[in-house]
Structure 1
Amino acid sequence: MPPSFADVILPVPIPKMFTYRIPRSLESSVGIGYRVIVQFGKKKVLTGIIGKVHKKPPKEYEAKPILDLLDDYPVVNPLQIKFWFWMAEYYCCHIGEVMNAALPTGLKLSSESKIQLNPKFDFVSNEFPIDDREQVILDALESKDELSYEDCGKLLGVKSSYAIIKSLVLKEAVLVYEQVKEKYSPKVESRIKLTEPYTSSKEELEKLFEQISKKPKQEEILLKYLQEVPVHKFPEKNKNGLDKKTITDAGLSLSSLKTLIKNKVLEEFKVVISRFDELAGYDHPIELADFQEEGLQNIKTEFEQKQTVLLHGITGSGKTEIYIKLIQEVLESGSQVLLLLPEIALTTQIVSRLQKVFGSQMGIFHSKYSDNERVEVWQGVLSGRFSFVVGVRSSVFLPFDSLGMVIVDEEHEASYKQFDPAPRFQARDAAIMLSWLHQSKTLLGSATPSFESFYNARMKKYGYVHLNKRFGEAQLPEYHLSDILVDKKKNLLKLDFTRLMREKIQEALNQQEQALIFQNRRGYAPYMSCEECGWIPECEHCDVSLTYHQYSEEMRCHYCGFKEKVPRACPACGSHKLTTVGMGTERIAESLSLLFPEARIGRMDLDTTRSKYAYQKILEDFGAGNLDILVGTQMITKGLDFDRVTVVGIVDADRILYFPDFRAGERAFQQITQVAGRAGRRNRHGSVVIQTRKPDNDIFHQIIQGNYEHFYINEMSERQRFFYPPFVKTLKITTKHKEIKIAERASKHLSNLLKDIPVKKIILGPEKALIGKIKNQYLFDILIKLDKSNNAPALFKHELAMVLEELKSQKDFKSVRFTVDVDPY
């Protein structure tokens, strides 16, 4: 019988699978989707996923055997592997990069180099001299079987021990090997239970109490156990026993507990438990208003003809209630549901609402979860424990096998786009493909749809349902344009706030109402400057100015993380006249505390929400009325629903609008409309104050009128004239190198090669990137606009892959990095 082979997907940036021989002992146990351990290269050991099983040996190399099988069941299903291959092909990356992004870290094995003493090494007759540092390592290895590179560094007090280990290897004193470790570890709980005969006989239990009557600490523990687990009233409860922590948390003696276990009065055992609380949903029916019920029926009607439907519902129209109804129906049919949200911040409020309805059948998946928690959600979807998942963009990779519906909430959001590392995918578009593979339905929801989705709806590719009423008594907010320049001339501008903005905030505070203040820049100020010579502190590694953070008294680069303390004097001229320029959320919060000293002010941005539950804490405080004003970045613009918010302030609308990006107008309309939608929910009347230097700009008046369609038509005529999406497909190729001339030369050479690809296209560039240097790498961009008709994009991508391989093989460009971003904006 000929041997069997497996094509294995490995987490390496190489555009193919690798063929390994399946040992006879594993032939009946392996299949598509199983995790295996394989050797890659001479020393590396990697976790791979089997993508195909067959009988054909590879022609180019001799197949190595699979070293081990990690699971008794596949952790990835064939539909997922199809999805991975589509993503690799569409987003111009490698299948290994997709696998790396798709699998939670906890399901990937780490391969860590270890050293051990060479059994053949003779300390006495060794001909090579051993220095003091090498001797320290050899002495440590005599008492320990193994040391990691990190252990050696700690022993010697050095950052890198590589040179010393290399010397010991050359002297044949040590051997280096790879130790493979399973990263995921289940959560284990230590429990105790009462042993026989004390569970079945009251008399034996009474005798026991007599014996320990002079040992009050043991008696206390036994009484606590019987209080929590009444074994004679409910004997079956003793089987599960009691969490050991219940005893220790009550302050009872640990040594007395150990004595009871030693004397076989109590027995200790371990159980694997879930990291997530068991929650029961409740049957409280969701009541839809007439217009929502009509919208729901229209969605179902559209789904009869179309796979994807766009739900265009104004802010406050109650899209979540419609989602809940649809989710319930799909779950009742036995299928799975995925609800995608753009931000973790959004999950905080919506999840608590959904958990009340769906209880423990709902899983949550986002990047603030630990590796182990994410593995448990993955395993929960595999086992069927979670039939409904709420998550951010990475949730599209979960192992669904019978997906009935995908809902993409706030589908217009830019945070659905992954920028680094590869795959640089758009989660909304990926979700539509995932849905198509499962032959299921996709619902896209937004108050301000992306132009791509609205275009597809108008072209009848998607179904379309419009909700133009707010739920309950809620009215749309009243808009006010506040001219910054006019107030500045009249000396009415105080700490960056116009008189109108200050008055509206004060009115809200007087009425015990709340205000949301939006500024899409964190930190205290965008940058510092010297008033004498104009010096501006810049990042050492990137072409950007450093952002001043007052709280930590430092200047930080938001691209590479570089930071330094604020200088006391200007390094260029020695002047002490250093001042801040512009305003971030930190400065706005400080200004508000000076203007409204009685107000309780919170801040919500990347700096204040780094910890796992920080979002939740801030939103809970605001929702409970413990904060009067919340200052935030784009995190506060969407999906949040607070009864008492009556004022929304947009501090610098021009910063959103005047940005070098063809989508600037679209993004400004979306962000301002979304943040304005937080005002005046329920029956309170809301006000939105937009501070601007150009109140006559037409876009503000279209936002105020809520005329999305008119705005869309104007913008689309521009896009069609200048060939921008959705009329063309775009790709951006960035070349990166530590030397500017090599990066530029590579980019120009690439541009010339791309011109020869026989498809209809426009090539712009190469140009120095908007930020020309990041992390000491110089960047040059080429933008390609491709004709959408026929097969032009697919053909271009295929040819591009070959062009890049050819370039990377050239001596001059071997060290150049090329990144391809499909649908980059």
Structure 2
Amino acid sequence: MKKRNNSKNITLNYKTTLLVDVFPLAPVEIYYTYILETSEQKNFVGHRVVIPFNNRKIMGIIYQEHRGELDFDKSKLKKIIEVVDDKPIIPEKMFQLARWVADYYITPIGEVLKNIIPPKLKIPEKKYIQFIGVSDFEKNILNKTEQKIITFLKNRKNPVSFESLKQQIKTSKLEQNLDLLVQKGIVKIIRRKKTVIPKKQVFHINSQMFSEQVFSEYLEILKRKKALVQILQYLYELQKSNKNAFELEEFKKEFPTKNITKHLENLIDLGFIEVELKDDTDINPEYKPSYNFPNELILTLTKEQENALNQIIKEIESSKYSSFLLYGVTGSGKTLIYLHCIKKCLEMGKSAIVLVPEISLTPQLIERFNNAFPNQVAVLHSRLSDSQRVKQWISILNEEKKIVIGPRSAIFAPASNLGLIIVDEEHEPTYKQDEPAPRYNARDVALIRGKLENCVVILGSATPSINSYYAAKLGKHKLLTINERADGAKLPDIILVDMLEKRKQRKVFGQFSDTLIHKIIDRLTRKEGIILFQNRRGFGLLVECRFCGYIPKCPECEVSLTYHKSEQKLKCHYCGYERKYDSTCPKCGKTPMLILGYGTQRVEEELQSILSELGYEPKIERYDLDVVVKSSDRNEIIQKFYFGEIDILVGTQLIAKGLDFERVTLVGIINADLQLNIPDFTANERAFQLFTQVAGRAGRRSTLPGEVVIQTTSPNAYPIQEFVNSNYDSFFKKELYYRKHLHYPPFFRLVSVEIQWKNENPNEELISFIKEKLDGLKNAIVLGPVIPIIPKIRGWNRKVFLVKINRTKDPNLANTTKFFRTLYNEFHSKFHTKKLKLIIDVDAQFSLL
């Protein structure tokens, strides 16, 4: 037993009682006051706590020490069960940001805080007690309960969980007695989070044990243990093939038996293998260097880049809020400016957040940032495992990593002393969260966080959103323009192909004009990269019976199913429902069904057939959501295309976003009309942006000029004309004219009020209730209710009201959000929310989709 030095005086720190306000991590809109008993003298704001709430134990966050008098009897207050953290995990400014998000986007603040914290961090810690030692003198002055605790603990080698101790020591004052023992130095409390980084077992083969003599002797000794002999023979073959290590999961596939762990333990005891425990959260292999990017900080800046950088650096040095719209053509080197700005932040001891619109952009971007700032980059996104996200999140919280890269949710990263927030490709609609609540726009949240943190915010784009460009014109952002590409490269030449004329001339082969085919063959001959853009995945857009007109639809969503030929399945792109494809019509029994429309799979197959007939056999791959679901496939395809192992990449809008391929000299836009014909006020803006962005993948180096072929049946549409002329300002003016006269953003703000119900018939009482309330909203234009284009999603029927709010009457939506908060609360008190839903989407991006 370990003896303690009794020469020092024993100081007892008795508990003090505090009243604290706590936000439960639940869909609640207010904080609740609790009693916190503690012997620690510190500020508990931002700490997680376990609290009793509605007859259950849940996690909460301490918001503040309670101020003022209680308006009810103090005896009714409940006690906090446990303080989980040693230090705050939600800084004060993050509370302010969460409050703004909750108020503006009509979401309970508990729900907002729940979304900010990684899922695994919401699980409480488990408390263990470890016996240290006690002198005979101390033992004699302990009370009976303390002596029982010591007796139970001292014979146990390992720490004992609080739950186990509680079962053995029957007393209501167990925690108080433990606190006294801790203060006396007799026991210590060990907190083991359920969020402990999990370990993976890596087994190393001891090659010395597999010499012919030793191996033969052991085979003879173990010959009656057939399973063990089989494993040994397998290991013998592994080490002969120079594979000296394996993981447990990998091994279980070879030997799917419940006793495999026991067999491996026997082999460890015999010395055949050794086990090593490694963190199971290493995300570096996914982002290991693959592209041979240089450290770009050594590159020389152009005059335009240098001018933009100097203006941003000046504001970073001031440590005050400022926002910039960095409008630079594709390939102008905006990322290089980002890197230099971040370098300045790090020199000042500050951190930076870089938002990207898609997870698929992160591998290339992370390598570029890692080259410039080794071991300083953290990554946050939804494709990480829970444990990986926790590890990255904690590394940011502890200031081990100063640079955060990720899609929209990374705006809530716990970065301290922020100097810079970058929103790359700020025009992308993916920055707006559709579901679940809060339905926030990360670009706008970034601007608010910038104000709270007194830091610089850069919105970067080659095709700024109409809203951001209009705000910059009004002076709300400082506009920085870069008109030239880096290293002297020129913007690609754009060739407009009128598909109606080509069809008349019989120069169309499937979805390909002769112009595009000739350009593809030219690039294949020169071994240059080709990107083909078709913004629809799958093979056919829908399947139809040519005899009775039957179209297979999703049973949960009122949409047609998309045919995926490679899997022979019909899939719903909204809820994920799928079923096997059958060419026989289930309604009339006739065959075959017609496959209508073109997705990326059909474009790929058709192009392969056309080129094969012409004597070419290029390597063609797809890059769409069906592919990028698997990160390994996603990264492998991008790498192979980058290094020329893939000749042609056929993809959706994912290939239009920020990827850098110096070998690409041709981009083909297969069907521009797909985007133009979407029935929404954003269709023209989105079309212009997509065409410009995907065209920007071509000719990004001065030595390899690029070309773009755009195929359309609407060559005179103004988004296409302005795209061909590379004239964003002209497009902006025309689009602004229509927006103003039709009462759309940026002149009006949109709020979508959506009603959803499960039954066949709509709830007329709810519709009347919402309509009556909306009619009372001042300075607003209310449209609806209407059935949207997709009338049913995931089994919920839909009706939508579209509310247009005049910006000049309510600039910050302060009055409007109060109105909708009241509407939200009244709905929840009046209606059965398990069968009905009310979805309020502030700053809705789409009108009736």
Q: Under TM normalisation by the shorter chain, which class is it?
A: 0.7 to 0.9
1:434-445 to 2 correspondences below 5 Å = 434-445=449-460
> In angstroms, what is the RMSD of aligned CA positions?
3.3
SS at match of 2:489: coil
1:31 corresponds to: 44
1:456 corresponds to: 471
SS at match of 1:796: helix
2:823 corresponds to: 803
CA distance in 2 between partners of 1:595 and 1:190 (Å)? 51
> Residue 302 of structure 1 contacts residue 309 of structure 1 at CA under 8 Å; is this kept in 2?
no
Q: Which amino acid aligns with 2:670?
A: V
Higher mean C-alpha displacement, 494-503 vs 291-300: 291-300
CA distance in 2 between partners of 1:383 and 1:446 (Å)? 32
1:596 corresponds to: 611
Superposition deviation, residue 613 in structure 1: 2.6
Q: Which amino acid aligns with 1:51?
A: Y
Superposition deviation, residue 483 in structure 1: 1.9
> Residue 79 of structure 1 contacts residue 401 of structure 1 at CA under 8 Å; is this kept in 2?
no
Give the one of 87, 95, 99 matched to 1:85. Answer: 99
Give the one of 815, 820, 841 matched to 1:821. Answer: 841
SS at match of 2:802: strand
SS at match of 1:607: helix
SS at match of 1:674: helix
Q: Does 1:46 align with 2:66?
A: no
Q: Which amino acid aligns with 1:586?
A: Q
> Residue 555 of structure 1 contacts residue 565 of structure 1 at CA under 8 Å; is this kept in 2?
yes
CA distance in 2 between partners of 1:52 and 1:740 (Å)? 47
> Residue 97 of structure 2 contacts residue 449 of structure 2 at CA under 8 Å; is this kept in 1?
yes
Q: Does 1:426 align with 2:444?
A: no
1:628 corresponds to: 647
SS at match of 1:359: coil
Q: Does 1:785 align with 2:804?
A: yes
Give the one of 740, 752, 757 matched to 2:772. Answer: 752
Superposition deviation, residue 690 in structure 1: 0.9
Superposition deviation, residue 791 in structure 1: 4.5
CA distance in 2 between partners of 1:673 and 1:769 (Å)? 29
> Residue 753 of structure 2 contacts residue 801 of structure 2 at CA under 8 Å; is this kept in 1?
yes
Q: 1:693 to 1:183 in 2, by over 3 A?
A: farther
* Corresponding pairs, count: 710
2:307 corresponds to: 294
CA distance in 2 between partners of 1:12 and 1:576 (Å)? 53
Q: Which amino acid aligns with 1:105?
A: P
> Residue 743 of structure 1 contacts residue 780 of structure 1 at CA under 8 Å; is this kept in 2?
no
Q: Which amino acid aligns with 1:632?
A: G
Superposition deviation, residue 571 in structure 1: 2.0
CA distance in 2 between partners of 1:696 and 1:282 (Å)? 44
Superposition deviation, residue 566 in structure 1: 1.7
SS at match of 1:558: coil
Superposition deviation, residue 711 in structure 1: 0.8
Q: 1:744 to 1:630 in 2, by over 3 A?
A: farther
2:122 corresponds to: 108
1:474-623 to 2 correspondences below 5 Å = 474-597=489-612, 598-623=617-642
Q: Which amino acid aligns with 1:293?
A: E
Superposition deviation, residue 706 in structure 1: 1.1
Percentage identity across paired residues of the two chains: 34
Superposition deviation, residue 720 in structure 1: 1.2
Q: Which amino acid aligns with 1:679?
A: A
CA distance in 2 between partners of 1:10 and 1:20 (Å)? 11
CA distance in 2 between partners of 1:338 and 1:403 (Å)? 8
Superposition deviation, residue 735 in structure 1: 0.6
Residue by residue over 1:663-694, the C-alpha shift from the partner in whole angstroms, topping out at 9 and shown as x without a partner, is: 11111110000000001111212111111111
Residue by residue over 1:384-418, the C-alpha shift from the partner in whole angstroms, topping out at 9 and shown as x without a partner, is: 11011111111011112200000111110111110
> Residue 281 of structure 2 contacts residue 387 of structure 2 at CA under 8 Å; is this kept in 1?
no
> Residue 747 of structure 1 contacts residue 781 of structure 1 at CA under 8 Å; is this kept in 2?
no
Q: Which amino acid aligns with 2:516?
A: M
CA distance in 1 between partners of 2:360 and 2:203 (Å)? 39
SS at match of 1:725: coil
CA distance in 1 between partners of 2:760 and 2:195 (Å)? 43
CA distance in 2 between partners of 1:795 and 1:779 (Å)? 27
1:56-71 to 2 correspondences below 5 Å = 57=70, 59=72, 62-71=76-85
1:344 corresponds to: 359
Q: Which amino acid aligns with 2:50?
A: I
SS at match of 2:373: helix
Q: 1:257 to 1:248 in 2, by over 3 A?
A: farther
> Residue 748 of structure 1 contacts residue 766 of structure 1 at CA under 8 Å; is this kept in 2?
no
Q: 1:532 to 1:750 in 2, by over 3 A?
A: same
SS at match of 2:306: helix
2:173 corresponds to: none
> Residue 11 of structure 1 contacts residue 96 of structure 1 at CA under 8 Å; is this kept in 2?
yes
Q: Does 1:184 align with 2:199?
A: no
Superposition deviation, residue 512 in structure 1: 0.7
> Residue 620 of structure 2 contacts residue 646 of structure 2 at CA under 8 Å; is this kept in 1?
yes
> Residue 203 of structure 2 contacts residue 246 of structure 2 at CA under 8 Å; is this kept in 1?
no
> Residue 758 of structure 2 contacts residue 835 of structure 2 at CA under 8 Å; is this kept in 1?
no
1:275 corresponds to: 282
Higher mean C-alpha displacement, 506-515 vs 485-494: 485-494
Higher mean C-alpha displacement, 362-371 vs 800-809: 800-809
Residue by residue over 1:555-612, the C-alpha shift from the partner in whole angstroms, topping out at 9 and shown as x without a partner, is: 1111112212222311222220311110111111111221223010111111111123
> Residue 125 of structure 2 contacts residue 194 of structure 2 at CA under 8 Å; is this kept in 1?
no
SS at match of 1:372: helix
CA distance in 1 between partners of 2:501 and 2:793 (Å)? 39
Give the one of 76, 97, 116 matched to 2:90. Answer: 76
SS at match of 1:734: strand
Gaps of 5+ in 2: 1-14, 127-190, 205-209, 216-241, 252-263
Residue by residue over 1:415-468, the C-alpha shift from the partner in whole angstroms, topping out at 9 and shown as x without a partner, is: 111000001011111111111111000011100001111111110111011000
Q: Which amino acid aligns with 2:57?
A: V
> Residue 742 of structure 1 contacts residue 813 of structure 1 at CA under 8 Å; is this kept in 2?
no
CA distance in 1 between partners of 2:424 and 2:97 (Å)? 21
CA distance in 1 between partners of 2:124 and 2:608 (Å)? 49
Q: Which amino acid aligns with 2:737?
A: S
CA distance in 2 between partners of 1:493 and 1:271 (Å)? 57
CA distance in 2 between partners of 1:632 and 1:29 (Å)? 55
1:662-741 to 2 correspondences below 5 Å = 662-682=681-701, 683-741=703-761
> Residue 21 of structure 1 contacts residue 66 of structure 1 at CA under 8 Å; is this kept in 2?
yes
Q: Which amino acid aligns with 2:494?
A: Y
Q: Does 1:311 align with 2:326?
A: yes
Q: Which amino acid aligns with 1:310?
A: L
Gaps of 5+ in 1: 113-179, 194-211, 218-244
> Residue 533 of structure 2 contacts residue 652 of structure 2 at CA under 8 Å; is this kept in 1?
yes
> Residue 688 of structure 2 contacts residue 723 of structure 2 at CA under 8 Å; is this kept in 1?
yes
2:269 corresponds to: 258
